[in-house]
Structures are given as C-alpha cells and as structure tokens.
Structure 1
Amino acid sequence: MDELVRNATARLLDSGNVAALIAGVIAFALVLNRGTWLPLRNVVTIAHEGGHAVVALLSGRKLNGIRLHSDTSGLTVSTGRAHGPGMVFTLLAGYPAVSLLGLGGAWLVTSDRARWMLWGSIALLVLVLLAVRNAYGVLSVLVTGGALGAVSWLASPPWQALCAALVCWFLLVGGLRPISELGRKRRRGRAGDSDADQLARLTGIGGGAWMFLWFLIGFASLLVGGFWLLLMPQV
C-alpha cells in the first residue's frame, strides 16, 4: 500500500499536470459561488433527472417524461407500481447519478479518452432530450449539448482533455451541494415530497439515512474521481 501511494505521488509530482488541479479549483469555485452555481445547476438537474429516468426504465416502469424548470428544479414522471423495488430504486437514483457520471467521466479522461467522454455525454443528452416535455427543458439540454459539441468539434485534444476534466470535476463537486441544500430545506419543513421523504414513506427508513447514503456515494466518488483526474495524462 505504501509503495502504491509513493508511486502515485511520484507520478503526480513528475507529471507537472497543474492544469488538472486548476480545473478542480475552478469547479469548486463555480459550485460554491452562488452567482455561477444558479445557472450551472441546470447541468446537475439534467444528470439527476436522467438518473431517475434510466433506472425507471431498467426497473420496468414506463417513462412518461422529464420536465426541467427555470428555478433549476426538475421532475421525472413514470408509471408502474407505486410500491416495491422499482419505485425505490427510481427514487434512489437521482442524487447519486450526478456523482457517478462524474466518476465515470474521470475514468475516461484519465485513460486518455477525453473525446469519448465528451461524445458519450452528448449521446446521453440526446436521450434525455427525447424524454423532455417542456420548452425550458429542451433549451437547457440543447445549450448543454451545444457547449460540449463545440468543444469536441473545435478544440484541440489538449483543450478537449482540459474541458472534459472541468466537466468531471463540476459533476463530482456539484453532486454534493444539492444534498446539503435538501438538508436545509428539510430542516425548515419545505421538502415534504423530496426523494428522501418519499423513500422514507416507502421503506420506513428515515430520510436522513438516505441523504447520508447519497453523501457517502458522492464523497467517495469525489475522492476517487479527483485522484484519477490529478493523475490524468499531461495536457
């Protein structure tokens, strides 16, 4: 274990890949600053609702549509049994989806497949677009996909890698903030129909336990994904 840590540290120091670290710092700033977080939170909402939609389909539910709102909230509607594992997993999926997408993207970037990450993200956005049922949602997905498409078509490979790393950092960090926001709303009694509270009613396990699980998944993804990104091929 010590040898693994020494080798990783040496690789990080030898690579001189300060750009990946700077991308991480920028992502933290974008998430922590209210002025940048509010518009960029739409990206997190897209990933969150996409997670609900994918798991709903995988669990055999019928996906009726996704709505994305200008206040950065979202809603995924599916029909099927109101109880049971399918409904539980569908509700469970939203918050972890953001962090896990960031983790998967980080693996691609650190494997020198930044363009795969960009095109994979665009493909996922196209699938989400097919399920969106309101004008603002369509606009949000098109703007996000257009930005990624511009990078993948116009940027050089080093810039593609750097932008892909920034997106991954943003998802990894941004996946945690909505959990803390939900916690504040629940303490004020303003989130009675949140994913956590619906899960509590379905399973008998308190909403706080589900939030703790989401936080653990997000924090672990940030640690692992951040480690991978800091060891990405030098740009």
Structure 2
Amino acid sequence: MDKLWAHLVEAQPPPELWLVALSALAAFVIVAYRTSWQLTRGLVTIAHEGGHALVALLSRRRLQGIRLHSDTSGVTLTRGRPTGPGMVFTALAGYVAPSLLGLAGAWLTAQGRVTLLVWSVLLFLVCMLLLIRNLYGALILLATGGAVFALSMYAPDDVQMVVAQVAVWFLLFGGVRPILELRRKRRRGQAPDSDADQLARLTFLPGGFYVLFFLVVAAASVVGGAWLMLPAAVLPSL
C-alpha cells in the first residue's frame, strides 16, 4: 500500500508553456466545433450527472440511479423530500460539476500529480457505473473507463501529461457551453424542466438567476484553472 500510494502521489515535472497553451487550444476547438462537441459532449454529461449524484448522497437523499442517453442528455433519480436544502443543492450541482472537476484537475495537474488525477477519474467512473440504470449508460462508462485504465497502465508519463492537460481544459471549456445552450433554450421556451427552472420552483429566485450563477462559476473556473496551470509551466523556465 505504501508503494501504491507513493506511485499515486509521485509528481511529474510540469510541462512547458507551449504544451499547456497547445492543449488549451485543442480543447477549445473540440468544444467550439459543432461536430467534435456532439461527439464528446457525453463526457460533460457524465460529470454533470455525477455532480448531481454526489451531492444527493452528501445531502442524504436516496439515490435511485443514473441514466445516460445517446442524445448526450442524462438524468439522476433521487428519492426524498421534494423541497428543502438537500433538493436545492442537488439541483445546483449538475451544471457546475464539470467546471469544478476541471478546476480540481487543474490543481492536480499543476502539482504534477497526473497519476493521482487519472486514478481519481477512474474511481469516479467506477462509482458511477455501480449507479447506472440503462444499457447505453453502462456502455459509455465502460468505454470511457477502459480508455482511462489503458492510459494509466500503458501510456508513457509524457503522454499521460498531454492527455491530462487536454482533458482538464476540455472540462473547463466544456462546462461553459452547456450553460450558454441552456440560456438559449430557455429564451425559446424549450427547457421548462431544466435545473434552473426546477431551482426557481424550489426557491424564491428566478431561473435566470441560476443560469447566471452557473455561468459565473464556470467562467471563474476557467480563469482559476488557467491561473493554476500556466504559472506552473512558466515558473520553472524563469
């Protein structure tokens, strides 16, 4: 166990600035380009529903399961009081989860703890797999988890660092786009049961306030992630 822990927390040297910048550019293109976004958006949905599930458990709600659908949507089913703080925090967690996970990943990456980051993601996916309640969801989690496991076992440290950089930037940028899409859908009246509208029914604040809250958290996470990762790459070269 001591050797395993030492392996997990072993720090890799920080990447060069050009690699961090190139990883950020690659992730931004993936999120901004429509086709690549449709192919990868399901990863953001995993983080979104995982956020709901985690906060539901922390607030002592009974978690009935998670469903991930082929149209990149998802739903987390819980049981408990239909109102109250537990329900509010559970509804709040979804849209901010990808950004906050990206921020946590940025902190680990800046510390050089790439192995710990990869195995934390793998543990997160395994826990979600235990809660999944549909075949497509199970398949997408198995495929994602298998890719992460192969990365951790067979990829050289340099490759793991590059993939970690792109993945962290992807979560940071990918946490913003669904909120902008939600804003557009609400303006067209196409999302009456969104998380923001559920929160509006649970509290005295309008749904637009929660969309703004989601966006502020996502934007702050992008800034915070850049502040963590860019200095880590710049300082060793000074």
Q: Is TM-score (shorter-chain normalized) higher than 0.5?
A: yes
Q: Is the 1:112–1:232 contact (alpha carbons within 8 Å) kept by the matching residues of 2?
A: no
What are the Cα deviations for residues 149-201 of structure 1, in whole angstroms up to 9, with x where unaligned?
12111111121111111110000000000000111111111100000000001
Q: Name the counterpart of 1:6.
A: none
State yes or no: 1:58 paired with 2:48.
no
Residue identity opposite 2:200 in structure 1: A
CA distance in 1, matches of 2:109, 2:159: 12
CA distance in 1, matches of 2:64, 2:198: 19
- The aligned runs of 1:22-171 (5 Å cut-off) are 22-171=22-171
What are the Cα deviations for residues 16-61 of structure 1, in whole angstroms up to 9, with x where unaligned?
4211110000000000011110120000000000000000011010
Query: Size of the alignment, in residue pairs?
Result: 220
Q: Is the 1:122–1:149 contact (alpha carbons within 8 Å) kept by the matching residues of 2?
A: yes
Residue identity opposite 1:40 in structure 2: T
Q: Name the counterpart of 1:208.
A: 208
CA RMSD of aligned residues (A): 1.2
Q: Is the 1:103–1:172 contact (alpha carbons within 8 Å) kept by the matching residues of 2?
A: yes
CA distance in 2, matches of 1:63, 1:89: 14
TM value normalised by structure 2: 0.90
Shift of 1:231: 3.1
CA distance in 2, matches of 1:23, 1:151: 17
Secondary structure (helix, strand or coil) at the match of 1:231 reads helix
Residue identity opposite 2:60 in structure 1: G
What are the Cα deviations for residues 110-131 of structure 1, in whole angstroms up to 9, with x where unaligned?
1010111011000000001110
Q: Name the counterpart of 2:231.
A: 231
TM value normalised by structure 1: 0.91
- Note the residue ranges of structure 1 that are not aligned, 5 or more in a row: 1-14
CA distance in 2, matches of 1:103, 1:27: 15
CA distance in 2, matches of 1:139, 1:232: 36
Secondary structure (helix, strand or coil) at the match of 1:172 reads helix
Secondary structure (helix, strand or coil) at the match of 1:70 reads coil
Secondary structure (helix, strand or coil) at the match of 1:141 reads helix
CA distance in 1, matches of 2:159, 2:227: 20
Shift of 1:232: 3.6
CA distance in 2, matches of 1:200, 1:178: 19
Secondary structure (helix, strand or coil) at the match of 1:71 reads coil
CA distance in 1, matches of 2:16, 2:115: 22
CA distance in 2, matches of 1:231, 1:147: 29
Shift of 1:85: 0.3
Shift of 1:106: 0.7
- Note the residue ranges of structure 2 that are not aligned, 5 or more in a row: 1-14
Q: Which aligned segments of 4 or more residues in structure 1 are displaced greater than 4 angstroms?
A: none
Instruction: Name the % identity.
Output: 51
